[in-house]
Amino acid sequence: MLRTMILTGFLCLSFTTFLFAHGDLHEQIERTSKRIEKQPDNAELYLKRGQLYAQHDEFENARKDFLKARELNPDLTITDLLLAKVYAENQKPYEALPYSNTFLKNHPNDANGLIIRAGIFQQLKNNDAAKADLEKAFDNIESPNPGHFIAIAEAHHSDFETALNWLQKGQKKFGFDIVLKEKEVEILVENRKYDRAILTVNEILERLPRKEIWLFEKGEIYEKAQNQEAALTNYKMALKAVQDLPKRIQGTRKMMELEARVLEKIESLSK
């Protein structure tokens, strides 16, 4: 399982959050440019075109349009947030941070602004500041989802018990959630808490009708714990689970790849 970036779990602010236009991006940019020719002092049009450029990964054009919109209408504070985001997405945290700070000075409890600044702080290796912004953002989100809890857990990855505590808070709110449980297993394995990871996997196996992937995962955890006998047992159970699936499911690429990996593990541990 791969660690995701801190912003992945959160409902990340995208440029489409503000943009509700339709159609091909090139066409939208052309239409907006023609309107700008007729209304060169319309800050909203520059804002709109900047978001279109950002969607199209045209960083420099987006930056110029956001700056122009900001110049034309200093009260259009969303431009500070968009500039922070576009700089951050292009790995320019030092340029992004001042705009992020300016936006949050005017909107101190804006969850999207706090989330974006948390990502900037992460790029700057300031994990404490990132954690603080994420937790404050969490307090200001009307309807948190499991991803929010995962993002905060990831921000606390250096203190795995605190990270697990956030995942448990999520589980109390949402009940059994496979995404939260998967993250729990990942954190426990990373911290070599193999016995606890096995208990969590067992809980997952009790809940899921399809068990082949998690039996394989359990085998890998036992193998990391240097319990080859238990690892081999679970790999064999995973193989049987795959072979018991309907032929149409067995024939999918994902299941064929899993079966190949299981067979390779069984062969390796049987030597």
From first to last of its 271 residues, the chain has per-residue pLDDT tens of 323 344 443 434 444 444 444 458 888 899 999 999 999 999 999 999 999 998 888 999 999 999 999 999 999 999 999 999 999 988 999 999 999 999 999 999 998 899 899 989 988 989 889 889 988 988 888 888 898 888 888 877 778 898 899 999 999 989 999 999 999 999 999 999 999 999 999 999 999 999 999 999 999 999 999 999 999 999 999 999 999 999 999 999 999 999 999 999 999 998 7
> Under a CB-based contact definition with an 8 Å cutoff, are residues 241 and 212 in contact?
yes
* Nearest of 106, 159, 101, 107 to residue 131 by alpha carbon: 159
**What pLDDT score was predicted for residue 4?**
35
HSE (CB half, 13 Å, CA atoms) of 66? 25
* Nearest of 103, 105, 106, 157 to residue 130 by alpha carbon: 157
**What pLDDT score was predicted for residue 23?**
52
- Amino acid in the structure at residue 88: A
**What pLDDT score was predicted for residue 158?**
77
Element (H, E) at 103: helix 93-106
* Nearest of 15, 4, 18 to residue 119 by alpha carbon: 4
> Under a CB-based contact definition with an 8 Å cutoff, are residues 56 and 88 in contact?
no
Q: How far is CA 219 from the centre of its chain?
A: 27
* Nearest of 209, 256, 265 to residue 236 by alpha carbon: 265
**What pLDDT score was predicted for residue 25?**
80
How far is 264 from 175, CA to CA, in rounded Å? 36
**What pLDDT score was predicted for residue 177?**
93
List of long-range contacts for 47-53, beta carbons under 8 Å, 24+ apart: 47/18, 47/76, 47/78, 47/79, 47/82, 48/19, 48/21, 50/79, 50/82, 51/15, 51/16, 51/18, 51/19, 51/82, 52/19, 52/21, 52/25, 52/28, 53/29
pTM over the 0.95 mark: no
DSSP string, 219-246: HHHHHHTT-HHHHHHHHHHHHHHHHTS-
**What pLDDT score was predicted for residue 209?**
94
**What pLDDT score was predicted for residue 159?**
85
